[in-house]
Structure 1
């Protein structure tokens, strides 16, 4: 893949000044950023979860460096040109403290918790691939956690690189594609924002990963609300499913002082319909060709009888966080703050929704729907 950087004149995303590097900050592989939920669970941060049903099942960490991430994704809290002091930065709008790996391992092994999986995330930094392998190896040797690798695909040059992640101790990998279409990927992650990422390469890495890891153990991340239609989002879910790759959904949530800091969240109805469609595609094997969409790209029909769709909705499972599982097949990476702060409406439930939650979900599901009066012919992928 070519990485020559040519800024596009067609983007509507403004460019801003690059942040200075933060000298003296601890770096990987000795230290990592830790999700706020994980830091709370291990006693590194004070706080409690907003709902008593929330129990953290997975620990998320991310590589960290004094220099900025070399990528500049328009929505990302660690983007190169984010206009905020490095020591005040957030990721997914919550704090990610920097912690020594040794301390994390010690706390994991001595503090009572219910976490069953570790997710080790890379940054777009040349050192990040090798350092993530070291962190995976450390946790594999010294803990009983299952391990996932969250891949920055631009760092992967061959299938051998993916084999190294597996050999280090990861049994699953995810590729954060994020944008559902090539045009949106380019606009928000590629040349217009002076970023290194390329759509074709991310999908190539996804397909190569299925040749290294066991069937069903490769996933992608997609973010709802970057400008795609529901049809386009679910077409990418189907593309992944055709590769035996599961999709993990996130709702866009504007990170202050990023290039998309003023961009609105997608309506809850839009997100709920995408969650339901993803679940049907990934978990029940319903092909998108059975779906119908209106001319705005909104879901009109999922191709199921109403009574069958009601059973799926009432189960609550489509709206539970889609993440890597534990040894029993239950979601371990349940990310309580993966879409925003606890004061905001819960978009991904880190537990099975209660009957009261299901009632709210039903009210949200079609709340912004434009109707079926201008329906497209079918859900065939174009």
Structure 2
């Protein structure tokens, strides 16, 4: 059976439901018109991901019926890459269906032996769309990370993300590494971050972190600071349980915990504070950033910028990867806002910052 019949990457790819809707491939509407600014593509293979992360919908040992399989709690339909490209390059005036304007493409590798080489092939093809391209790399499958990142850059990618996810080596092992029956190793991930920054440059590499896996706020702040020391940006996700995963009954973090970490990540990403500026209580909760929030944020607080999704930018330098409702179902109170929070949103947010 050939690769095309098996519907595998690089010829086939999964896209988020939001991305499929933006391309006019799936019906639906977006709560509060929160259209995605980036097309998220997920590599796919018949034998699946080799990892076994305790919170992930792609985990090798996830217990769920195949027809109910999800990733980040939604379906990821599979399309030919050529179909995706045709939609992206179709002139708007000739489109049979309305195509939402997208500002970036992000290709997510999975932990599979073919993923590294196939991701390079996909970048080479997708660069013809003229959209900037990010790749969320899986360090575990990279034999020579520096060489891989150089090939990726030559193929047309301008940014790289690495999903460390867990804030401490112990949590990483328990959730993703040997203690979870998975192949990932903490040291390998951080080595790859360093190598990616060497190739792509400072602030061209992102470190994905999930708040709420069992870490303290102090743990997470130290890991965000470490990413900054490597020259990488921290992009946050809030844990939300995936049905059938090992953490299906684990509770998401409180709004207070998430807001305080959001502010810390915003300040570190903008080089406004250092670890010396942050004060914690005996439970490891943030109680001060060294200066009043109004002084640190200025008009950015009124605009709600720290509470909006952080992600890779479009050609204009604005965040493209806004991942609408990637943390939770659409609702009145969000953890990552995929749009500028309104005044009523900000009143709620301000009341959450110092709440337990």
Q: Same fold (TM over 0.5)?
A: yes
Deviation at 1:344, TM superposition (A): 7.4
Of 91, 95, 120, which residue of structure 1 is paired with 2:75? 95
Q: CA deviation at 1:262?
A: 0.7
Q: How does 1:22-61 map to 2 (within 5 A)?
A: 26-52=7-33, 54-61=34-41
1:217 Cα deviation after fit: 0.4
Stretches of structure 1 that go unaligned for 5 or more consecutive residues are 1-23, 369-382
TM-score (norm 1): 0.87
In the TM superposition, 1:281-360 aligns within 5 A as 281-309=268-296, 311=298, 312-343=300-331, 345-360=333-348
1:62 and 2:42 are equivalent in the alignment: yes
1:94, 1:337 within 8 Å by CA — same for their partners in 2?
Answer: no
Query: Contact conserved, 1:93 with 1:341, CA < 8 A, in 2?
Result: no
Which stretch shows the higher mean deviation, 307-316 or 255-264?
Answer: 307-316
Partner of 2:135: helix, strand, or coil?
Answer: strand
Matched, 1:127 2:114: yes
How far off its partner does 1:172 sit?
A: 0.3
Distance of 1:264 and 1:45 partners within structure 2: 31
- The 5 Å alignment of 1:108-257 reads 108-110=88-90, 111=95, 112-140=99-127, 142-158=128-144, 159-257=146-244
Offset at residue 284 of structure 1 (A): 4.0
1:122-178 alpha-carbon deviations (Å, 9 max, x no partner): 0000011111111111101x3111000100111122211111111111000000100
CA shift, 1:319, in A, is 0.7
Shift of residue 357, structure 1, vs aligned partner: 1.0
Q: How far apart are the structure 2 equivalents of 1:124 and 1:345?
A: 34
Q: Deviations over 1:67-89 (max 9, x none)?
A: 12110000001110111123321
Counterpart of 1:81?
A: 61
**Structure 1 residues 210-219 or 188-197, which shifts more?**
210-219
Which one is further off, 180-189 or 355-364?
355-364
Paired with 1:237 and 1:271, the residues of 2 have a C-alpha distance of 13
Tell me if the contact between 1:269 and 1:365 (Cα under 8 Å) persists in the aligned partners: yes
Is the 8 Å Cα contact of residues 156 and 162 (structure 1) preserved in structure 2?
A: no
Shift of 1:25: 5.3
Asked if residue 104 in structure 1 is aligned to residue 92 in structure 2, the reply is no
Cα distance in structure 2, aligned partners of 1:347 and 1:56? 16
Give the whole-Å Cα distance in 1 for the aligned partners of 2:261 and 2:271: 15
| Whole-angstrom distance in 1 between the partners of 2:332 and 2:304 | 19
TM-score by length of 2: 0.93
SS in 2 for 1:254: coil
Cα distance in structure 2, aligned partners of 1:344 and 1:163 = 43
Q: Deviations over 1:333-359 (max 9, x none)?
A: 111032122247421111121111111
CA–CA distance in 2 between the matches of 1:168 and 1:342? Answer: 36
Structure 1 contact 291–301 (Cα < 8 Å) conserved = yes
**Cα offset for 1:296?**
0.8
**Using the alignment, how far apart are the partners of 2:183 and 2:29 within structure 1?**
38
CA distance in 2, matches of 1:319, 1:130: 36
Q: More helix per residue: 1 or 2?
A: 2
- Structure 2 stretches of 5 or more lacking a match? none
CA change 1:151–1:306 in 2 (3 A) is: closer
Distance 1:345 1:153 in 2: 35
> Matched residues in 2 for 1:87 and 1:133: separation?
30
Q: Is the 8 A contact 1:37 1:337 kept in 2?
A: no
Structure 1 residue matching 2:192: 3-state secondary structure: helix
